[in-house]
């Protein structure tokens, strides 16, 4: 199985949130875990926001960043090329989704088009984005 994580589920690997255990189990079963390169910046922004909002300490933030950095090379990261950005723009228009969500959706579509694996899953905490991903395949 190949699983694509958008940032909302990627951060669940590092921060205890609802469904964190389910995401960890999904990742443990996956042969390939993929995401867009933008997920790194989005995850770091999430950690920074949580630190500034005092939802995590500086030490906790340093630890989750260290874990993300250690895991990052093991992920299949999909680059944001001009072609992917244009596809994301079209998907944003069709599905009425935000820009970074559209980039994740376009990255997932790219993964689907290149995958030899019949079991490719999209993991996301946003229902609208999950529905859009289902329409892709």
pLDDT of residue 36: 98
Domain that residue 102 falls in: 2-136
pTM over 0.85: yes
3 state DSSP class of 9: helix
pLDDT of residue 121: 94
pLDDT of residue 117: 67
> Residue 87 sits in a domain of what CATH number?
3.40.50.1010
What is the distance between the alpha carbons of residues 10 and 12, in angstroms, rounded to a whole number?
Answer: 5
For residue 1, give Cα distances in angstroms to 19, 33, 59, 60: 19, 9, 34, 31
Regions of the chain short of the pLDDT cut 50: none
Q: Are 99 and 74 in contact (CB under 8 A)?
A: no
Please count the structural domains in the chain.
1
């Amino acid at each position: 199985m190949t699983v694509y994580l958008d940032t909302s589920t990627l951060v669940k690997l590092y921060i205890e949130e609802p469904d964190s255990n389910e995401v960890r189990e999904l990742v443990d079963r996956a042969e390939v875990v993929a995401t867009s390169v933008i997920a790194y910046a989005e995850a770091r922004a999430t950690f920074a926001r949580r630190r500034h909002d005092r939802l995590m300490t500086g030490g906790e933030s340093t630890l989750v960043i260290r874990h993300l950095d250690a895991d990052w090379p093991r992920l299949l990261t999909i680059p944001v090329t001009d072609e992917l950005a244009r596809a994301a723009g079209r998907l944003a228009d069709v599905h009425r989704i935000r820009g970074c969500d559209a980039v994740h959706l376009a990255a997932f579509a790219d993964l689907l088009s290149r995958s030899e694996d019949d079991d490719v899953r999209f993991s996301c905490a946003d229902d609208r984005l999950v529905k859009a991903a289902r329409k892709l395949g």
